Amino acid sequence: MAGRIPENIIDEVSRRTDILDVVGSYVNLSRKGNRWWGLCPFHNEKTPSFSVSPDKNIFYCFGCHKGGGSYQFLMEMESLNFPEAVRRLAEKAGVDIPDDNGGEEYRDNRRALEDLYKRVSNTFRWLYINHENAAHARDYLDKRGISEETAEYYQIGWAPRDGEWLYNFLLKKKYSSDFLAESGLFSPKSPRWSYFVDRLMFPVMPDSERVVAFSGRALNGKEPKYINSPETVLYKKSRQLYGLGQARKKIRENKHVVICEGNLDVLSCMQADSGNIVAPLGTAFTQDQAGLIKRQADSITLLFDGDDAGRKATVKAAILAESVGLAVNAVKIPPGTDPSDILCNQGPETLKKLIERPINIFDYLLDFLISAKTDNTGEAQEEALKELTPYLDAVGSDVRREKYLRQLADEVNADPVTVIREYRNNRGKKLLRTSRLRSYRSTGVETETVFEPVDDELYLMTAVAVKTEHFTTLRKSLAPEIFRDRRALSVYRVMDELSVDGRELRTDVIVSKLDDEKMKSYILEKAAAGIYDQRADDTIKEKIRILQIRTLNDERLELQKLMDKENDTGLDSVNPMINNARMKRILEIDKEIQAR
């Protein structure tokens, strides 16, 4: 295994890494003053409590209290260990990490899989472009109206007809059979047989560089039409979206995402000049995927198929999107078609116009619901309200919810007051049944981590951990032995060690070295809140002065105790020179205290 990454390399990578770029790849951030805010990626919330402080290179959530620097954020988001996070950011920062074993031994399973999947993706891509047996794959996309530029953009590939070809190819590249058996590329029943045989290959890329899974479409008419990679340490299908890596930049620019049903729909929409397009992978749209989008965008357009299943999927997706605070629109696709059909049969301009002219999601839901009803009886009206209730419950605004209820009443020729009252009555019963659960959930996350009492030592070392330029003065003024608070002493020792090693004193580095999780969170909370941004310099000086005086008083008290003890014995053997020296020191201490 590769050795420990040198501290100077860790510091260099950290210096070259902009935490805004790291966090901004996952979270939709808005600037307020010198900090940036967004919805926390680590717990569900509708009001942003997650902050990033670029000047301190830290992030912190005031809701769930997770925090740290760039490394810690990537470790949390991608389930990486520390060396993996350093290596990931080093690659982006252009910092070489020496390999002390001189070989190409893989450092861990995750890194090995990332390398493998990237190589396989490149291989499939090369085969798609160059192999004569891939002509039908190229023809398929061409007939669907997908250009080679779009295929290149999404790195579309082709898996050969020989199911054992990939296994043999990778063995020649020195991959072990045991490793390949755990890679998620081959059938457990037939370990040499690839999951993907004669299929159009769609690499799943969460960013512009990494491949974490594949989705393969059959080209020979065989079922299933699509096969997706099984879950691995890299890939959890409910937390990934096809096309997200390619769409991230456009999503950040527009704060908007278009969601369709399938991989080919993504390519079709891209062909129609819609670059912020993604799709779930072999599963219905999930809560995790909704949260993933909310961290990067403010609104979504649902572009699902025009059949009954597509409309039902739209309803479910709308509820999930509303529940995380996304504004939702939807596109009405002609019955029996999908975006790929529209591109193929009517051209990119028609598809583009559809995407650019969505309707409000409630209009879509009403149209879907009412079209399925054949009467306007009281029973039908009650049924309509019942079917729309899950969506209305998810709406975050009371004003908007009442507007929708009045719209529903108008659509079914009912009295709006009656419809609103009926909804509120039913909702009230539901709330009553779940009040205890909600109460528990609302208190399930602590809202502050403040230590009580906060003494001078703790205040001082927390402030200096944030305003690190004061540590040199602190170190000259106070010895570590004077600290009584173990938490304050731990911060002092970490900063002292970093200083002795010649390393840069930064809040994120200091926090990463602490063992006490509560102390870490406390420092990050104060730093993120900007507690020490103003007037901290004078306060730090004052706290140093207070502790210096306390130290002098402690020394004076100890000297006085010794003198009193010896005087109380009444012995003539007391050395007058020692007592005189003690008295002289007491007088010096009194002058020092007075001078401060």
Query: Could you list the mean pLDDT of each consecutive 10-residue stretch along the chain, which spans 596 residues?
Result: 73 92 91 91 87 93 92 87 88 79 51 92 98 96 96 97 96 93 93 95 91 94 88 87 92 91 95 93 85 86 91 90 90 91 94 94 87 59 77 86 91 87 72 36 37 75 93 91 90 91 88 88 90 82 90 84 72 67 82 78
Sign of the CA dihedral with 552 first, then 555, 559, and 562 last = positive
Q: Could you tell me the CA-to-CA distances from 85 to 25, 76, 444 in Å, in that order?
A: 15, 10, 30
∠ CA 240-118-18, nearest 5°, is 65
Residues 6+ apart with CB under 8 A from 322: 328, 361, 391, 394, 395, 396
Tokens of 401: 């919810």
Enter the DSSP assignment of 471.
H
What's the maximum distance between 2 C-alpha atoms anywhere in the chain? 115
What span, in angstroms and rounded, lies between the C-alpha atoms of 100 and 122? 28
Please report the pLDDT score of residue 532 as a whole number.
83
Choose among 477, 38, 515, 470: nearest CA to 293. Answer: 38
Over the Cα atoms of the chain, what is R_g? Answer: 32
Q: Quick one: 7-93 is in which CATH superfamily?
A: Zinc finger, CHC2-typedomain (3.90.580.10)
Burial call 140-177: b when 16+ CB within 10 Å, e when fewer: ebeeebbeeebbeebbbbbbbeebebbbebbeeeebee
Please report the pLDDT score of residue 380 as a whole number.
60
What span, in angstroms and rounded, lies between the C-alpha atoms of 26 and 249? 11
Please report the pLDDT score of residue 454 as a whole number.
61
**Domain 237-372 bears CATH identifier 3.40.1360.10:** yes
Choose among 545, 528, 547, 548: nearest CA to 537. Answer: 545
**Percentage helix, strand, coil, to 5, in the chain?**
55, 10, 35
Choose among 522, 518, 471: nearest CA to 492. Answer: 471
Choose among 415, 262, 258: nearest CA to 330. Answer: 258
Please report the pLDDT score of residue 306 as a whole number.
87
Please report the pLDDT score of residue 102 as a whole number.
38
Tokens of 266: 């993504």
What span, in angstroms and rounded, lies between the C-alpha atoms of 526 and 491? 15
Please report the pLDDT score of residue 439 as a whole number.
32
The fold of the 448-596 domain, in CATH, is DNAb Helicase; Chain A (1.10.860)
Q: Would residue 273 be called left, alpha or beta, if left means φ above 0 and alpha means ψ between -120 and 50 degrees?
A: left
Give the number of other CB atoms < 10 A from CB of residue 477: 15
Sequence-ordered alpha helix ranges (H) in 443-535? 456-466, 471-477, 486-500, 507-513, 517-529
Please report the pLDDT score of residue 570 as a whole number.
59
Tokens of 64: 């769930």
- Which numeric CATH code is attached to 108-235? 3.90.980.10
Pairing of β 67-68 and β 58-61: antiparallel
Residue 287 in 3-state DSSP? helix
Phi and psi (nearest 5°) for 68? 150, -155
First to last CA, the chain: 56
Tokens of 66: 């997770």
Please report the pLDDT score of residue 79 as a whole number.
73
The residue type of 396 is G
Please report the pLDDT score of residue 138 as a whole number.
97
Strand partners, 216: 201, 227
